[in-house]
A and B are shown apart, each in its own frame.
Chain A
């Protein structure tokens, strides 16, 4: 078995490649939600904060430090997901059916939206 840090480094490098792969598919349209969404994801430090805040027999100043970390982590997680949801809710397609209708209408009826648009 290799040392633990080598295994962890392997995981890190794989995650880096995976991250680049997944994120390069995000359109510029959604780059702000991407930033706030990844913001929420790095709130995972909250897990680390809970672990250190749960250590027994620590001096008061360390308990203050770790509970502050819990507070910051919680802000990060809750705020990040809520704000991302709020933003993504706003992204809507054109309400007029043009495109959507064309998709739904079966073959052969494709000229309909054209004439309908002319009437408007």
Chain B
């Protein structure tokens, strides 16, 4: 067995560990072990790569890795769970950027000065550079939007689609020129620069509430870029690993779009969040709204049999998750059954709300996804909505004119009583009126999520 065969076998081991890492994610019990396996596999791959014959510059490579590793570890340790979407966007971006740079370096090294690379080599280099750059720039802007360095509102300007279309055609033309014309590195640098601009323009018109879709999509892009790099270098380990990520990102993108009741193209090109509060919605908002004090709500909760808590991103923004868990514990101590209903797009990335609640020590067997729990609302005494709005809006079910019509929602209005903790009657992020608040079964507890919930906790304790 030659040295190269041994290295390829080591890469095969890596592939297996990655697949197992994903398989173990099917249950929270083994998921952590799976992640460790993946990390071991990655270490094997890196070690095997260092064993390649003909590899030079060991010292500089190791110095760079030794310098970058602690930075990555520190960032990963320091990041708050609420900021996880930004972090994931950032890691997406650096992965995509790396793929593009690898393509550029390989192109420069391999393209013969007179003459051309074979078609398949040029093609994979172009794809790797293109997708990687779009992913890098798009992820950086998504990071900026989520971190609120850039406004989370969609940024639109006249002829936006035309500009994007022209840029994209330009990129395709440039790619063709590289495929059939003289293969100068400067052309690929130009392609990368153009793709970076395209990545930014592509994410600009997408609003903060649509970020779960965008992050999942960029995740898929980076995976595909890594896969294309595998074609460039003829390494199966990159092809397979990249494609696994591509499949995951694609599935999550479709899932998130479905959870919003919209098509992927509507999310990407629709500039949602642009919806203005219509006069009609405002007029409708004049209906009667009941408000209640924390004491009243505490009595309702304490003497209920079944309570479902519906947390939204507002709860996370107010950092109320620990208080929510304390309230739930107290209710359970009194014999009330408490469960959590999690909408797929609660939060800023797929599954975000589950992580936020897990951080607050909410046991995961109390977390239920929409399809599991929606049928249970009619038998629920109190649905407690904390910082969630659009995902509870019955208009999505029964008013075809509403911008969110067709979006699957949590049927909180089917519960016997509904309590909504909300700071004021301001409409939600998308500016859509929520008739739930005027439902005769609903009482509003006007308070900041954190203060409201901790008051409820104190009041329940004294009962």
- In contact, A74 and B64 (Cβ under 8 angstroms): yes
| B205 interface contact, C-beta 8 A | no
Cβ-defined contact, B244 with A19, below 8 A? yes
Known: A47-B238, A49-B102, A62-B108. A90 touches B46 (CB 8 A): no
Residue of B nearest to A53 (CB): B61
Closest to A46 in B: B46
Q: Which of A11, A70, A86, A89 contacts B65 (CB 8 A)?
A: A70
The residues in A between 66 and 116 inclusive whose CB is less than 8 angstroms from any CB of B are: 66-95, 99
Least Cβ–Cβ distance between B105 and chain A, in angstroms: 4
Q: Is the interface of B mostly helix, strand, loop or mixed?
A: helix
Mark contacts of B34-47 with chain A using CB atoms, 8 A cut-off: 1 yes-contact digit, 0 otherwise. Answer: 11101100100110
- Chain B residues, Cβ within 8 Å of A83: 76, 79, 84, 87, 91
Interface contact B101-A26, CB-CB below 8 Å: no
Residues of B contacting A91 in the complex (Cβ-Cβ under 8 angstroms): 28, 31, 358, 364
A53–B246 contact, CB under 8 A?
no
What chain A residues lie within 8 Å of B245 (beta carbons)? 19, 38-39, 41-42
What is the total number of residues of chain A having a CB less than 8 Å from a CB of chain B? 83
The answer to whether B98 has its CB under 8 Å from any CB of chain A is: yes
Residues of A within 8 A of B97 (CB): 68-69, 72
Within 8 A of A (CB), among B56-104: 56-58, 60-61, 64-65, 67-69, 71-73, 75-77, 79, 81, 84, 87-88, 90-92, 94-95, 97-99, 101-102, 104
| Given known A18-B19, A38-B223, A99-B365, contact A67–B67 (CB-CB < 8 A) | no
Whether A33 touches B72, Cβ cut-off 8 Å, given contacts A48-B233, A85-B35, is no
User: Could you tell me if B109 and A62 are in contact, using CB atoms closer than 8 angstroms?
Assistant: yes
- The answer to whether B244 and A88 have CB atoms under 8 Å apart is no
B351, A8: Cβ atoms closer than 8 Å: no
**Complex CA distance for A83 and B342, rounded to whole angstroms:** 22
A37, B22: Cβ atoms closer than 8 Å:
yes
Q: Which range contains the number of B residues in contact with the other chain?
A: 35 or more
Which listed residue, A8, A58, A89, touches B108 by the CB 8 Å rule? Answer: A58
Question: Nearest-CB distance from B234 to chain A (Å)?
Answer: 6
Given contacts A32-B352, A69-B98, A77-B42, whether A15 and B105 have CB atoms under 8 Å apart is no
Which residues of A sit under 8 angstroms from B239, Cβ to Cβ?
A: 8, 11-12, 15
Bound complex: CA A37 to CA B142 (Å): 19
Choice from A29, A37, A79, A120 contacting B35 with Cβ under 8 Å: A37
Q: Chain B contacts of A82 at CB under 8 A?
A: 72-73, 76-77
CB pair B22–A31 under 8 Å, yes or no, is no
**Is B349 an interface position by the 8 A CB rule?**
yes
A43 and B333 CA atoms in complex are apart in Å by 45
Task: From known contacts A23-B248, A29-B367, infer whether A79 and B22 are also in contact, taking CB-CB under 8 Å.
Answer: no
Chain A residues, CB < 8 A from B64: 53, 67, 70-71, 74
A46 to B271, CA, bound (A): 35
26 contacts between A and B (CB under 8 A): A12-B231, A15-B243, A27-B26, A33-B351, A35-B249, A36-B88, A37-B38, A38-B219, A38-B249, A39-B88, A40-B42, A41-B241, A42-B95, A42-B222, A43-B91, A44-B14, A45-B226, A55-B109, A62-B109, A63-B60, A73-B95, A79-B87, A79-B90, A85-B35, A92-B364, A93-B364
Known: A23-B251, A27-B369, A62-B108. 11 other contacts (CB 8 A): A12-B240, A23-B244, A29-B367, A30-B25, A44-B237, A75-B72, A81-B35, A84-B35, A88-B35, A91-B28, A95-B363
User: 10 shortest A-B CB distances, which residue pairs?
Assistant: A19-B247, A31-B351, A79-B72, A78-B72, A54-B55, A82-B76, A94-B363, A69-B101, A31-B350, A83-B76
